[in-house]
Structure 1
Amino acid sequence: MTTPWSRRGFLAICSGTAVALGIGTPAFAASDEFATLRARWRTLILGEGFDPAAEPFASRLSGLGTTAGRYRATMAPAAGSLWPDLVYADPDPDTDQESFGYSGNMNTSYTRLSTLAQAYCQPGTGLTGDTGLRDAIVAGLDHLHDDVYNASRTPYGNWYNWQIGAPQALLDVCVLMYDALSATQLAGHLAAVDHFVPDSAVASYSGTSTGANRVDLCRVLALRGVVGASAAKVALARDALSPVFPYVTSGDGLYADGSFIQHTSVPYTGSYGSVLLGGLGLLFALLAGSGWAVTDPNRQIVFDAVEHSWAPFLYNGLVMDGVAGRAISRGLTASDPQHIQQDDHLRGHPVLASIVLLGQGASDAENARWRALVKGWVQRDHYSPPLADPVLSLPHLARLKAVQDDTSLTAVAEPAGHRLFPSMARATHRRPGWAASLSMADKRITYYETGNGENLRGWHTGAGMLYWWGDTFANGQYSDAFWPTVDPYRLPGTTTSRKALADAAGGDWGAAKPDVNWVGGATDGERAAVGQYLKGLQSTLVAKKSWFFLDDTVVCLGAGITCTDGTAVETTVDNRNLGPTGGAPFTVDGTLEPAAYPWSATLTGAKWAHLGGHGGYVFPGGAAVRALRESRDGSWSTINKGGATTVVNRRYLTLCVDHGTDPVNASYAYLLLPGASAARTRARAADAQWLTVLANSDSQQGISVRSLGFTGVNFWFGGTVGTLTASDPCCVMISEHGDGTAVIAVSDPMRMRTGLTLTWRRAVAAVTSTPAALASAATGSALTLTFGDLTGTAGATQRVAVRLG
């Protein structure tokens, strides 16, 4: 029987106290310290400051009750399972079972108990304070303890389930149901946690105990200490966070250039980075004001990273897929009864909420600035409004709702500018009305990550994939079943061999990395020159690829494209997901092409093309471009073993440059104009003076745009291009300004230059600002810059400001 509960009664039964302490409260009285921490954790995981009778909370709470009711009705304790569909008994524990195997089912069983406990404690679920539900939760905990998760058990399968997934859910339930558990029951659960997550799990900052994983382990240790009233465990958790904070120069963690790496070689700001950000926010909040407050001064690095590392990859509520690793394949899972598709927006929303939570422990100025940023992202996410997010946790929902309703905040607009992340071979470019992101690979950064049967066909996501979004258009480009339906050999911006690759080619956990050094670029913060020496995955393909990011255009050059695979080689200019209907008009040189599916044509001598509702493409001097409309079927299970088998269909407009079979020194050149109208695209194509391609060879690639005062050159080898001469491989970008000044941006993408001389044959009166790496500068009718050792600059841009002669 369901017992009606008032809000006061609900707080009393679930919390033991109705006090929800905020950040920055005075130190607790020693006798109440652990009870207060339990109360605070309940508040953090249940949420606060929301009206349970108002939307969007009322329907969310009702849905929680419905889900919990279904779980309770189907719970059937038996040897080897708590739910019939989640068998965790491993018939062959010597066989490595990953997260979709038996240990994963054990983890999910605890997660379901956590859902039941939330439905018991939250108001408005229809099960609030239900004594029958309470007894079922306790019985479920007892069964899992006796049957699988106890101090005498040897773990099998994926370590994560035993050390992070299951114990986090278990300890959450222990906090929520604390008053319903006997001392003996609590002791048994805590002994199990101690067995699987001993103090030695954080003794060394290595292996699986780094970055986001370390934060997760610290959460387990902290909650184990709170539930078991162990000051030593809480102190251990706090102290074990400290190795997470400092910048790293290799492996997992935050880098000075804003990069975030997990699994040694995978850019992971949007997935593991989200876990790290959220976990730190929770732990900072839990321990604030207690005897174990996190006071390490290096935690400021995490606060700085909000705008330095996370914000550059957030755009109108989404987090860019290029830093989400294998999570891009987690769209629709076979086990999801609600059939909710995950995507870049749904991955972005928890990051926004975590920034709000973390802000409570930052300075007042940082907190106010971050909340204004989040308000802007929330307001502009028209494709997937965060407050209607079906999977966002209720506490996160409450945090975002509070920000949206805060009339003292003025939403911050998306900034314009360019950011390079050489430590993870990524770049982002933002202009009014659109944003782009570039993903590359080198000897330190993997082609892609697969593992646990996930992201089986992400082979070419590091082959120069160029993503782009509009502010009010194309925001669902990669959200709407893109990954299971796109041709994985034709990802936008990539140059690839059509050589067939096996699922998970190259090996798990980012094992495959190209043996190349020259990947990176230079930027003045607004524009950039970026290059990638490309070697194909399990292929003989090599190519030199360059991107020049400008005000309304990305200029894309390719050269030295050579391959002996015996298969065709293509550069994909773009591959736009047009949704289930695919009705966007496509125009080439003023002629409207057929809208039929399928359709293909080779556009010989094409000068420009335009895709309605998306943008334009210009081919300097004309090019032979293959265009095709195709309707593609796919299922998430084809790219993720845990994915749903349901077949989905999306329509695509693809533009490719076909380099033929086994090309030798092939090349390409095109301009991408996101959001441009057909008229603007036509005008750009007609303006032969706007762009000068200075070089497009295997040795150098460079352009100049006189009207912008822009020159960019990628020197794959030393030499002379236009007015620039470089002694050695480097990247150079110059911006000349209308006030008679200029910035010369130089980098050593190879990280191998112990010296570099650059000459710009342009009259320069004076050098006004220099980096530490510059040894000397000579001015006059030409500027000669002599750099010292650049090997320690980690590929970062060295900027020299001058006054022109």
Structure 2
Amino acid sequence: MTGVWSRRAFLSAAGGGALRAGAPAGRAGARGGGDVHGTMREVWRGLVLGGGFSEGAEPFRSRLAGLGEEAARWAAAMAPAPGALWPDLRFASDPEPMAGSCRRLRTMAEAYVRPGTGLTGDAALLTAVLAGVEGLHAQVYHAGLVPYGNWWCWQIGAPQALLDVCVLLYGELPEGLRAGLCAAVDHFVPDSAVAVYGGTSTGANRVDLCRVLALRGAVGSDSAKVALARDALGPVFPYVTAGDGLYQDGSFVQHLAVAYSGTYGAVFLEGLGLLFALLKGTPWQITDPGRQLVFDSVERGWAPFLFNGLVMDVVSGRAVSRGLAASGEPPVQQDDHSRGHAVLAAILLLAEAAGPAERARWRGLVKGWAARAHHSPPLADRTLGIAALARLAALGADPSAAPLPEPVGHRLFPSMDRATHRRPGWAASLSMASRRIAHYETGNGENLRGWHTGSGMLCWWGSWYGNDQYSDAFWPTVDPYRLPGTTVARKTLADGAGGSWGEARPDTAWAGGSTDGEFASVGQHLRGLGSSLEARKSWFFLSDGVVCLGAGIRASDGVPVESVVDNRNLGAAGRHALTVGGRVQPSDLGWSAVFPSPGWAHLAGFGGYVLHGPGTFRALRQARTGRWREVNRGGSTAPVTRRYLTLWYDHGTDPVDAGYVYQLLPGASAARTATRAATPGWPVVLANSSAVQGVAVGPLGFTGVNFWRPAVAGPLGSSAPCSVTVRERADGTARVCVADPGREARELDLVWDRPVAAVLSGPPGLVSAATGARLRLTFGDLGATAGVSHQVVVRLR
């Protein structure tokens, strides 16, 4: 296919806005001239195509050539017939082939309008796209047809792709066909789709629907549709207190009970950025003051989950199973890095609507994350669209944007049962579940074996090591009953057990903890999915590691119960040395051993583990083979093998009151691990029972206790369930942080057996405080404060 093309048709407007592309020279006037809707179409074309890059420079040259090759394949394979445009995408009773056909047509349209694809302005390609759009509209996406199957395909997937085609080929698309497509969008996405903020019209889905309505208005020159899109966007800005949306603590939830900052969150941020840009300067410019809440959440809600360019899997729901699709030429793998790159690009886009200070800081953060993405550089990411790639490349080349370091600190997200801990050199994330947040999400045949991700999964990465830990075919090869940090009954579960779309929730209230912003005490009342398992689990996040406690572990399913200290993915051929108690262990596959506890272990290239007991712990080296198809029905059937080193406590079959204590030391050497194991009082375990769990570390001035019921642990006593974190400072002050993760305490008396001279500050919920030989604090109703931490600052005697 060849065609004549005038490069003058491609002009980049100032500010990275409208890339004037879409029709051969001499036909630009067909795009709408100077009217506001025509201008919106020009702006949208610039947003989806990007600008400011040379098509002859890498990585764009290769990506553009690849786009042309893909479009050529789809054009060659297209064979319109009743029920299909392509033989492998028959419409039948599943709308996904219809939506997939729309995406292929969009790819072909993009290859036609972009320079450097080898098909730019190609007449035969244009004929194929127009014939395909006409056929699809006539057969399946037209007004009057009753939608079937997944609503998303009809209201978001298909119309977004088709409206993009309408914008890219506005001058070439017959007016009657364009009007017919607008009528189809009106039919499948009526005004009533955004009349109520609920059901499927919330959070990221609502932003996507508003995107469809705004583009429908621009394509059909319908001001009422654009106004509706702007107005319908309003409900996504305020904080929510239940269900989908953005929470005051930075949580982002979709599907009512799934932590989703990573994927739906990226759609949310990108969609808002696109709409802010599209409507800027029009009569429908978005001026809702609530949008500042979204801007505030970039650093409060999204930044804590970004590390070295990746976004932590604990906030990506069922998307973790989308590693390698069954089809695709060449195959492209999605992982935590590619999902992270999408978030980075979305933040860059959103920054253009933020204030100058926010814009500068976000650009510095993104530049830092991108620069540290050694394992998977964003500019080499083939899952990113070219426009997103262009934004990241422009930032990298901007000398005025200085890269910022990784944020350090602890963040609790009680509204989505998640926590992140970030220290110089490493970061960790914790995934829990409660009656608010699901054990895991499955749906559409995805994430079929993610059953135990909410059972206390503790993931961690180092600055220069382990960044491929969960992206290197982890999900299809890991033992799903041995996710790191979890306590699990090894009862066989069926694929998708517990129900779809976040139905699998335990009937427990406690998941969360207390933090001073640097250290934290976090706990989970665990009830197993599909089993009788019950346990209390606590994590104390400190300066160079995490102290992990388990107590009251019991079950009656006739199967072994295990607490997984760690499960390291060693890659395809890793033979990392394991040292236990000073002795290097065999590196043979299939090796396993039982070791007494207390003791210590060190895994070369990763870090150390100090195991305090009680009981014994086990170690196992094994090669595990799996297929993406086993965790995602749309995944590849090709076998993939990875080696693992697993450490776990074996509590035996049907334990009655089992427990564990261990320390995780990311990045520690064998010598430092051995020294820590020999250091008395690091930590002092104050209590480890089903009533209370707590530790103290004198050198850090740290005391942390999770009270599952009224109890005393060392110097702390509580009249009700709560979490307490105390930090004594070198300046003679201390911070006492209190939270009610169960959200049930109507009154709370807390006693700290430590001489206190005065209370310097306290939260509104502090009813009274008594100082002297010991501190007594009385709080009012903490149950209504959504599990957040309340800080009291005191001066010590």
Structure-2-length-normalised TM-score = 0.97
Residues 13 and 380 of structure 1: is their aligned pair in 2 closer, same or farther, counting only changes over 3 Å? Answer: closer
Deviates more, 1:140-149 or 1:619-628: 619-628
Amino acid at match of 1:254: L
2:742 aligned residue: 750
Instruction: Decide which of 426, 431, 435 is 1:443's aligned counterpart.
Output: 435
The equivalent of 1:59 in structure 2 is 62
Contact 1:589–1:606 (8 Å) recurs in 2? no
Please give the secondary structure, in 2, of the residue aligned with 1:424: coil
Match of 2:71 in 1: 68
Tell me how far apart the structure 2 counterparts of residues 17 and 439 of structure 1 sit (CA, whole Å).
55
1:513 aligns with 2:471: no
Structure 2 residue 661 is matched with structure 1 residue 669: yes
Q: Deviations over 1:247-282 (max 9, x none)?
A: 000000000000000000000000111111111111
Give, in whole Å, the separation in 1 of the partners of 2:277 and 2:701.
49
Alignment of 1:542-691 (within 5 A): 542-605=534-597, 607-620=599-612, 623-691=615-683
* 1:83 paired residue number: 86
Quick one: distance in 1 between partners of 2:477 and 2:464?
24
CA deviation profile, 1:70-113 (whole Å, cap 9, x unmatched):
111111101111011111123xxxxxxxxxxx310100100000
Q: C-alpha separation between the residues in 2 aligned to 1:638 and 1:777?
A: 57
1:24 maps to none
Q: Cα gap change, 1:13/1:508 in structure 2, threshold over 3 Å: closer, same or farther?
A: closer
Partner of 1:729: 721
In the alignment, which residue of structure 1 is the partner of 2:784?
A: 792
Instruction: Tell me if the contact between 1:742 and 1:804 (Cα under 8 Å) persists in the aligned partners.
Output: yes
Which of 145, 164, 175 matches 2:156? Answer: 164
Amino acid across the alignment from 1:5: W
Residue identity opposite 1:245 in structure 2: F
In structure 2, the CA distance between the partners of 1:453 and 1:339, relative to structure 1 (3 Å rule), is same
Q: Secondary structure, in 3 states, of the residue corresponding to 2:415?
A: helix
- How far residue 135 of structure 1 moved from its aligned partner, in angstroms, is 1.1
Kindly provide the amino acid, as one letter, of the partner of residue 42 in structure 1: R
Partner amino acid, structure 2, of 1:59: S
Poorly superposed stretches of 4+, deviation over 6 Å = 16-20
1:635-683 Cα shifts (integer Å, max 9, x gaps): 0110111111110000000001000000011010000000101111011
CA distance in 1, matches of 2:641, 2:288: 51
**Which amino acid in the other structure matches residue 776 of structure 1?**
S
Q: Contact conserved, 2:5 with 2:25, CA < 8 A, in 1? A: no
Instruction: Write the distance in 1 (CA, Å) between the matches of 2:173 and 2:622.
Output: 59
2: CA distance between counterparts of 1:586 and 1:404? 40
Q: Aligned partners of 1:335 and 1:157: how far apart in 2?
A: 22
Cα distance in structure 2, aligned partners of 1:641 and 1:571: 29
Q: CA shift at 1:299, angstroms? A: 0.7
Letter in 1 for 2:84: S
Q: Which residue of 1 aligns with 2:343?
A: 351
Given that residues 167 and 193 in structure 1 are in contact (C-alpha distance below 8 angstroms), is that contact kept between their aligned partners in structure 2?
A: yes
Q: Deviations over 1:672-705 (max 9, x none)?
A: 0001011110110011232100000111000000
1:9 matches 2:38: no
Q: CA deviation at 1:799?
A: 0.3
- Determine the C-alpha separation between the residues in 1 that align with 2:24 and 2:215: 17
Query: CA contact under 8 A between 2:9 and 2:23: conserved in structure 1?
Result: no
- In the alignment, the residues of structure 1 paired with residue 359 and residue 712 of structure 2 have an alpha-carbon distance, to the nearest angstrom, of 49
2:3 is matched by which residue type in structure 1? T
Aligned pair in 2 of structure 1 residues 16, 227: CA closer, same or farther (>3 Å)? farther
RMSD value over aligned CA atoms?
Answer: 1.5
**Residue aligning to 1:93:** none
Contact 2:694 2:713 (C-alpha < 8 Å) held by counterparts: yes
Hey, what's the Cα distance between the residues in 2 that align with 1:723 and 1:361?
50
The one of 368, 383, 394 aligned to 1:376: 368
Please tell me the residue identity of whatever aligns with 1:289.
Answer: G
Partner of 1:95: none
Alignment correspondent of 1:97: none
**SS state of the match for residue 517, structure 1?**
coil
Tell me the alpha carbon deviations over residues 610-636 of structure 1, each in whole angstroms, 9 at most, x when there is no partner: 000000000126751100000000001
| CA offset digits 1:413-463 (Å, max 9, x no partner) | 001100000011000000000000000000111111111111111000000
Change (3 A) 1:242 1:519: same
Shift of residue 753, structure 1, vs aligned partner:
1.0
- In structure 2, the partner of 1:708 is 700
SS of 2:567's partner is strand
1:549–1:555 contact (8 Å) kept in structure 2:
yes
Which residue number in structure 2 is paired with residue 401 of structure 1? 393
| Corresponding residue number in structure 1 for 2:17 | none
Aligned partners of 1:84 and 1:664: how far apart in 2? 58
Q: CA deviation at 1:6?
A: 4.0
2:49 counterpart residue number: 46
Matched, 1:692 2:684: yes
Q: Secondary structure at 1:793's aligned position in 2?
A: coil
Q: Give the SS at the match of 2:121.
A: coil
* Candidates 274, 278, 303, aligned match of 2:270: 278
Equivalents in 2 of 1:705, 1:50: separation in Å? 54
Amino acid paired to 1:220: V
Question: Is the alpha carbon distance of 1:689 and 1:8 closer, same or farther for their aligned partners in structure 2, counting shifts above 3 Å?
Answer: same
CA contact (8 A) 1:15 1:39 kept: no
CA deviation profile, 1:187-222 (whole Å, cap 9, x unmatched): 111111111011110000010000000011001100
SS in 2 for 1:496: strand
State the match for 2:186 in structure 1. 194
Partner residue in 1 for 2:15? none
* C-alpha distance in 2 between matches for 1:261 and 1:319: 16
| 2:403 corresponding residue in structure 1 | 411
User: Match of 1:457, as an amino acid?
Assistant: R
Kindly indicate whether the alpha-carbon contact (under 8 Å) linking 2:49 and 2:387 is maintained by their aligned counterparts in 1.
yes
Q: What is the rounded CA distance, in whole Å, between the counterparts of 1:354 and 1:444 in structure 2?
A: 28
**Are residues 1:222 and 2:230 paired?**
no
Task: Answer yes or no: is the 8 Å Cα contact 1:607–1:623 preserved in 2.
Answer: no
Whole-Å Cα distance in 2 between the matches of residues 689 and 86 of structure 1? 64
Shift in CA distance, 18/366, structure 1 to aligned 2, threshold 3 Å = farther
Hey, what's the Cα distance between the residues in 2 that align with 1:604 and 1:534?
26
The 2-side partners of 1:618 and 1:53 are apart by 54
**Cα distance in 2 for residues equivalent to 1:18 and 1:184:** 22
CA distance in 2 between counterparts of 1:18 and 1:254 reads 47
Change (3 A) 1:506 1:749: same
| Aligned equivalents of 1:707, 1:438: Cα separation in 2 | 25
CA distance in 2 between counterparts of 1:488 and 1:182 reads: 53
Over the matched positions of the two proteins, sequence identity in percent amounts to: 63
What's 1:236 paired with?
Answer: 228
1:454 maps to 2:446: yes
Amino acid at match of 2:22: C
The CA distance in 1 between the partners of 2:368 and 2:292, in whole Å, is 24
Does the 8 Å CA contact 2:304/2:407 hold for their aligned counterparts? no
Measure how far apart 1:4 and its partner are: 4.2
Instruction: Report what 1:185 is aligned to.
Output: 177
Give CA-to-partner distance per residue, 1:516-547, whole Å, 9 cap, x none.
11211000000000000000011110000000
Q: Distance in 2 between matches of 1:686 and 1:160?
A: 57
Instruction: Note if contact 2:439-2:455 (Cα within 8 Å) is conserved in structure 1.
Output: yes
Residue type matched to 1:9 in 2?
A
Shift of 1:606: 5.0
Equivalent pairs counted in the alignment come to 786
Letter in 1 for 2:86: W
